[in-house]
Structure 1
Amino acid sequence: MAAKGPGKDYQPVKREEHSTVRVGDYLYMWGGVQPDLPRVHNNEKKKSMCSVMEVYHLVTGRWEQKPTTGNPPLGVRGYAAAAIGNEIFYFGGYCNHDGCCHNSLYR
């Protein structure tokens, strides 16, 4: 997967209520409250924003974006994340609208 962003100085957008897990020499960050995140259950803009994994390489100190596959979890903030081996699991989360919480498990 090719890195995205404006070159070596790329930084992810500011966010809160996200989670970051370590796999090998990389930190994987996904979701969270971000500027312009739609306050709806599901739409194309929200899917697009949530179909990207922010990846930080601990050795080089550089961030990059990696696209994901499949449908992103709807619980985009306040979820639990854990890495087991080379797999990352996401559970639950708040949908960002009307008290909509989830109990789904994604890998």
Structure 2
Amino acid sequence: MAAKAPDYQPGKRYGHSTVRVGDYLYMWGGEQPNLPRVHNNEKKKSMCSVMEVCHLRTGRWEQKPTTGNPPLGVIGYAAATIGREIFYFGGWCGQPYCNHDSLYR
């Protein structure tokens, strides 16, 4: 009998936000191990082009790819929902004094 693969769990992080839309929690960004301390590069874009999603009824996590360019302020940003849309504002990119004032949807 084959061993069951462990359920997916997001990696450790801080400075992120989690918002609820329907029966799902959406978590994005935050300070994470190996997140480049640069304003912008391909590795950082790749790491920040994924949304962590938790189905509240089952407690199961999965990763969903995003589209477009991810926000650069990945740490300490504000997130809110209006209806079924998620909005992200501000944040810090990891560089000294590099705070952002962009709004993303």
Q: Offset of 1:99 from its aligned partner?
A: 1.7
The question of whether the paired residues in 2 share the 8 Å contact of 1:8 and 1:62 is answered with: no
Q: Which letter maps to 2:20? A: R
User: For structure 2, which runs of at least 5 residues remain unmatched after alignment?
Assistant: none
Aligned to 1:36: 34
Segments ≥4 residues shifted beyond 6 Å? none
Aligned to 2:102: 104
Supply the distance in 1 between the matched residues of 2:6 and 2:99 (Cα, whole angstroms).
37
Aligned to 1:47: 45
Deviations 1:27-75 (A, max 9, x none): 0000000000000000000000000000000001100000000000000
The question of whether the paired residues in 2 share the 8 Å contact of 1:50 and 1:76 is answered with: yes
SS at 1:66 equivalent? strand
Q: Offset of 1:8 from its aligned partner?
A: 6.0
Aligned with 2:62 (options 52, 58, 64): 64
The normalised TM-score by structure 2 is 0.94
Aligned to 2:79: 81
What percent of counterpart residues are identical?
Answer: 81
Q: Which has the larger radius of gyration?
A: 2
How many residue pairs get aligned? The number is 101
The normalised TM-score by structure 1 is 0.92
Larger fraction in strand = 1
